[in-house]
């Protein structure tokens, strides 16, 4: 992974580094397409094979049939395209957790504005104890927040800010028992590649993922798993030739399966790159084994942070996966952004978050114990500037 050279990297939840074999697979695929001719009869079997192989592999990773998978460009489009295709009636309620990504929240707000829906918050940002307690509390709060008008629940599988894990299968069962059977939209940005997702992906109506974070694939390719009932009720939204059952004619209608949410021309070499990255991860062990390693490393970091009296982890129990968020106890301490900048000068890369204001370090299977020690030492020496600095912000 060239991206890991000469630096200590903790931003896997922002973007995973691309392994050299994946970069080579992208280059090889691009060359093959050019050599065969990019729009020739000779190239189509090659292209179809690459797409079908990745769809099949992802079906295994997500634990659903390949007919339930649509390729997208990223997590956000995987959430938004099917969401906008659902039937809405004015007055219905959208219950959105207070830990969702701003892009998805904005899309829900606009949906609500156009269809006269009401948005209601589901408070989960304060669930910082162990995962079991958090799971029990989120179910309790969800049950209390549901109304006869609730038509959609939006929640992430692994919360990008606190690092807490949500009990998606239990949430799905609760919603199925509810008389209105609200749709369940799950943002899987932080989960695919970091923990087993099959049960959650199979239980949600929309389970959206990307290849460019924990899967260490190239940016620009994501996947969404859609439920059978959603496929029966949702209309395609952003429509193109790939949405059509007969791509040469608009008369035949849309694909009956999830491909109705695919649009048009995509960059095929990215498919080859993601397929290679997934194979490399598979070679490192099962998803349970990889999750265990990620969680073990995150727990070491979390434990090390407990020994620094100047810092406070957001989670009060060891993290359930690879996200470790923390902040300075002293309100006059440098801002998280200033600390990120200072650590960056030491080539240690983590990120700051705005809500709640904190720093976030991620551990992946490639993280090394020495890297954790290095971060802990730098934080202990508090080699951070005396006052806050500004820096450009990115919401990803």
Residues that bind ligand PLP (CB under 6 A): 14, 74-76, 101, 103, 156, 160, 187, 189-190, 210, 222, 396
Closest contact distance (angstroms) between CB of 189 and ligand PLP is 3
Closest contact distance (angstroms) between CB of 14 and ligand PLP is 6
Closest contact distance (angstroms) between CB of 119 and ligand PLP is 17
Cβ closer to ligand PLP: 77 or 313?
77
Cβ closer to ligand PLP: 117 or 154?
154
The answer to whether 348 and 377 have CB atoms below 8 angstroms apart is no
Closest contact distance (angstroms) between CB of 101 and ligand PLP is 3
Cβ closer to ligand PLP: 167 or 304?
167
Angle ∠(279,258,268) on CA atoms, nearest 5 = 45
DSSP secondary-structure letter at 250? S
Closest contact distance (angstroms) between CB of 193 and ligand PLP is 12
**Tokens matching residue 363:** 């551990």
The answer to whether 300 and 369 have CB atoms below 8 angstroms apart is yes
The CA dihedral of 249, 255, 260, 265, to the nearest 10 degrees, is -50
Three-class DSSP labels, 125-183: CCCCCCHHHHHHHHHHHHHHHCCCCEEEEEEECECCCCCCECCHHHHHHHHHHCCCCCE
**Tokens matching residue 108:** 């829900």
Closest contact distance (angstroms) between CB of 18 and ligand PLP is 15
Cβ closer to ligand PLP: 160 or 271?
160
Partnered with residue 348 across adjacent β-strands are 8
Cβ closer to ligand PLP: 164 or 210?
210
Cβ closer to ligand PLP: 76 or 363?
76
287: nearest Cα among 61, 36, 119, 64 = 61
Cβ closer to ligand PLP: 187 or 371?
187
The structure tokens 């009932």 sit at 229
Closest contact distance (angstroms) between CB of 138 and ligand PLP is 16
Sign of CA dihedral 366, 368, 371, 376: positive
Residue 34's contacts (CB-CB under 8 Å, 6 or more residues apart) are none
């Amino acid at each position: 992974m060239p991206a890991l050279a000469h630096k200590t990297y903790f931003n896997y939840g922002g973007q995973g580094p691309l392994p050299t074999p994946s970069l080579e697979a992208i280059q090889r695929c691009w060359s093959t397409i050019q050599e065969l001719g990019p729009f020739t009869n000779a190239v189509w079997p090659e292209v179809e094979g690459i797409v079908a192989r990745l769809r099949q592999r992802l079906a295994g990773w997500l634990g659903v049939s390949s007919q339930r998978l649509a390729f997208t460009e990223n997590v956000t489009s995987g959430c938004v395209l099917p969401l906008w295709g659902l039937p809405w009636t004015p007055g219905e309620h959208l219950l959105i957790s207070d830990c969702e990504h701003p892009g998805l929240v904005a899309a829900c707000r606009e949906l609500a504005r156009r269809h006269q829906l009401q948005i209601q918050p589901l408070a989960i940002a304060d669930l910082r104890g162990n995962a079991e307690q958090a799971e029990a509390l989120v179910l309790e709060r969800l049950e209390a927040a549901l109304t006869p008008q609730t038509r959609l629940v939006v929640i992430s599988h692994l919360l990008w800010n606190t690092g807490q894990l949500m009990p998606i299968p239990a949430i799905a069962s609760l919603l199925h028992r509810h008389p209105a059977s609200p749709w369940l939209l799950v943002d899987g940005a932080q989960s695919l590649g970091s923990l087993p997702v099959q049960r959650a992906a199979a239980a949600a109506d929309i389970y959206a993922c990307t290849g460019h974070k924990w899967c260490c694939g190239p940016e620009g390719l994501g996947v969404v798993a859609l439920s059978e009932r959603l496929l029966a009720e949702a209309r395609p939204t952003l429509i193109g030739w790939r949405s059509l059952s007969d791509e040469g004619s608009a008369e035949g209608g849309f694909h009956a399966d999830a491909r109705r949410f695919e649009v048009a021309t995509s960059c095929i070499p990215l498919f080859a790159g993601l397929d290679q990255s997934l194979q490399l991860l598979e070679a490192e062990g099962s998803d349970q084994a990889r999750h265990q390693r990620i969680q073990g490393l995150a727990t070491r970091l979390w434990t090390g942070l407990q020994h620094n009296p100047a810092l406070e982890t957001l989670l009060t129990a060891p993290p359930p996966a690879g996200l470790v968020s923390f902040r300075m106890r002293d309100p006059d301490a440098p801002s998280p952004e200033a600390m990120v900048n200072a650590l960056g000068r030491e080539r240690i890369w983590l990120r700051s978050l705005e809500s709640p204001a904190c720093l976030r370090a991620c551990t992946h299977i490639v993280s090394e114990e020495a890297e954790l020690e290095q971060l802990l030492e730098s934080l202990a020496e508090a080699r951070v500037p005396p006052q806050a600095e500004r820096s450009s912000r990115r919401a990803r």
